[in-house]
Structure formats: structure tokens, C-alpha cells
Amino acid sequence: MAKIVIGQDGNSVNKNYKKYFELIQGLDTRFKQKKIDLEVYDFVGLVCKQDQTLVVFPKHFYSQETLKELLNDDTYILNDIVLLFDVIQKYLLNQNPKALKYAGKKLEFESEYPFASFFSIYSYFQQFGIYTERVTRTKIGYRGKISWKDTIRKSAKIYNGQGLLHFPYYVKENKSKQVFISDCMAFAIDYTIERFSFLFNLPKTNHKQLSFDFFENNEYVVKHLQSMKNEVFKDVNRKLIFDLIEFYSDLKEHRQGGDIHIKIKYFNLVWEDMVGHYLNNHFISIDNENKMIFDINNFNSKTTFSKKSFNVDKSDNRFTIEPDHYFIDDERQYIFDAKYFDSLASLNYKQYSYHEMLKSKIEDNKTVSALMLPSENDNSTEVHFILSDEYTQENTSSTTIISQRLRTKDVMITYLKSRLKI
């Protein structure tokens, strides 16, 4: 198995990793001091080469202390890598076809390995096993179902005193025939599981080992599969062939097992989606000290946070505002925004304006505004902003915005477990 090395979105790039993985794309330069620039990761995902795999986790997935240990020691946590891959996969698969095209462009999602076609091929394998073709032929014999059509057409005709006899009989014989499609299918599954053994805990096919080199003869494989499309008639089998063609076509540029990227540049969109699931599964309430209360073991929250659009502008421009996570009931109005930030270094003006424009929708002092940030530690609540008394209208409460840290790993785990449609 390839050696695993670890990075984290927003953290500095190890120079050796930059050179080895040729990280020309996917880096950001931030000026920490006037004459010193620091290159940092600005994507989440995996970059694979033949003998090493770089895994870049989301912001605050690990503490800086833990990350240093992972960088200095040759240790890694396989469950965390699988968690990351599953989250990326679920997010992309949850988009409808139109949204997926948009999300792919918006996210700058890049995958140079045909995982989509692999999963489709493996789904066929789980349902039907390795592809087999049923071949029916007739032979001379006396055991089995007689093929009267072949017997009458091929056998000798013998007349006796009682009528016409046919001799010998031809009987039907059904056999399973392993075909080229089966070999292509087995290689696609077994190679992928071996290559990404740190991602998949899936059984291989146990199909016979072949000396045929599917990488070197990739173009031949695609052409031969294309020529077989019209020889298969069942829809499920035809889909398998199309999936195989797609799989091997996408491998053309990687016949030698070169670089493979599975990257999302704008993970903030994934964070926003995951926070929605976390709130609607675990959020309980907020106490009198503006501390949020969650129950990580509860998957039956009574809240239904959602992205909501408000038409707040009566000018010809018709501007709208759209909080990421909004919920209102008889008790409170919640205006939450997901922020995939390392920290809050300045006032979040957008959240302040959301609060001011929407606070009239409910009784004074019943609106709760919060910014939801990732954290490597347990959930914690801090005050981000309290409007000074000097700027607060008489007999009204001061606008308060809190920042809520959510443990990144918990949010990702909830996202995978969640059955909600948001």
C-alpha cells in the first residue's frame, strides 16, 4: 500500500510534498510578514502517486499538535481518510444532475480517477456477481430436454410399422461462458480496490488472474467493448458495458498509474451543507448566556433549519438576502451562517445586516445570530459582537452575534449518518 502523508486546508505546505506531488495548482500564498510569504493548501482531498498519497483534510480537522505528530511520524488514521472520502462522495452524489454540473464548476471538484463508473460497476457485481453469458447449445444425447426442432432437422428418419422415428435425439445444454466483459469487469474492480485499499473495505472479485495488461492495451479494451455493445440486449448488462467503456476511457491518460487527484477547492459549500444536517439532527436550544446546546446522541431535533430568501428591497434592484440556516418558531428566530474560516479577525458585516433587517419579524430580544465555524476541539460558544449602548435604540436590546465552533469530525460523521433531505 502507498505511503500516506497528511496536510490540512489552510496550513502551510511541506516543501518536499510540493515538489513530489507537483502542487502547482491548489496552493495559496498568504503574507504573514512583510517580506515572508507562506504557501498553504487551499483544497481538500487526495493526490495520489505510485508510492505515496497526500491527504488534505478540512480546516481544523486536527489540532496543530496532532498534525505535527502525523507529519513527523509515519502514522495515519485510516478511518479519517475513509470519512473524508465518503463525505466528498456523498456531497457530490446528493446533487441533482443540473446542480452537479454547477457544483462541479463552483467547487472546482477535480477527480482524475473514474470513481463514478467504478461504483456503478461494483453495484452490478454486488447484485449479480461477475458478468456471465448463458450459452445454449444442442448435442446428441438422451438425458436432458430434447430439442425437437434440431432433432427433426438433423437426425435420420426411420420408418417402422407404427410410424416415423427420429434418431438420434438432440438435447439442449445450458452453460455459463466467461467472456471478455467479465475480465474487464474483474480488473476494474480488483485494481481499484488494491490501488485505494485505504479507502475501501470491499471484497474483491476472486476472478482468475490474467496476464493481459489492461493499462498498456487500454485503447484496444475500449474499442473491443464498443464493438460488443450490440451483442448484449438486457438493459442492465448494456449499462455495465457503458460503465466499463467510461472507466477504461478515463484511464487512458493514466495507463502507468500516474497522478490521481480527488480535490475540492471550495470546501466552504460542503461545510455549509454539513452544518445544516448537524443543526437539524443535534441542535436543542440556546441558554440565557447565549450558549448553544447540542445533543450529539440525539438525531431527532425539533428544528428545521434551511436556506431562506427574503425580499428586503423595494427599490427597482429587488435585492434579497439569504441566510445559510434559518429557523423561526413562537419562541425565537435563529439566523445562522456557516463560515469555513480559521478564525474571525474582523466584524462580519453581512451577519450584522441580516440581524438588523430580520429582527422585526419577532419580539425584541428573541433573535439569535450566530456564525458556525469548524473546530478541532469540542463545541464552544463565544461572543463575536455586541452593539454598543451608544448605538442601540432606547428600549431595545443590543444586537448580539455569537460565534459557534463545531467539531469538524463530528459534523462530518453526522453528515454521513443523516437521512435528512435539506
> Does some domain include residue 422?
no
Clarify whether residues 63 and 48 are in a common domain.
yes
The type of residue at 393 is Q
Clarify whether residues 125 and 236 are in a common domain.
yes
* Mean pLDDT, range 142-153, rounded to an integer: 69
* Torsion of Cα atoms, 239 then 244 then 246 then 247, to 10°: 140
> Does some domain include residue 96?
yes
Q: Are 374 and 60 in contact (CB under 8 A)?
A: yes
Clarify whether residues 150 and 248 are in a common domain.
no
pLDDT in tens, 53-65: 889 999 999 998 8
Cα-based angle 199, 200, 205 (whole degrees, multiple of 5): 150
Clarify whether residues 124 and 138 are in a common domain.
no
45: left (phi over 0), alpha (psi -120 to 50) or beta: left
Q: Which of 211, 239, 264 is the last residue of a domain?
A: 264
DSSP string of 47-108, one letter each residue: EE-SSEEEEEEPTTSS-HHHHHHHHHSS---HHHHHHHHHHHHHHHHTS-HHHHHHHHHHHT
pLDDT at 96 over 50: no
CA atoms within 13 A on the CB side of 269: 19
pLDDT in tens, 238-250: 899 999 999 998 8
Q: Which domain holds residue 40?
A: 3-111+260-264
> Does some domain include residue 303?
yes
The average confidence (pLDDT) of the chain is 83
How many structural domains are present in the chain? 4
Clarify whether residues 188 and 329 are in a common domain.
no
Point out the least confidently predicted range of 273-282, 321-330, 386-395: 386-395
Clarify whether residues 249 and 276 are in a common domain.
no
pTM above 0.85, yes or no: no
Clarify whether residues 124 and 233 are in a common domain.
yes
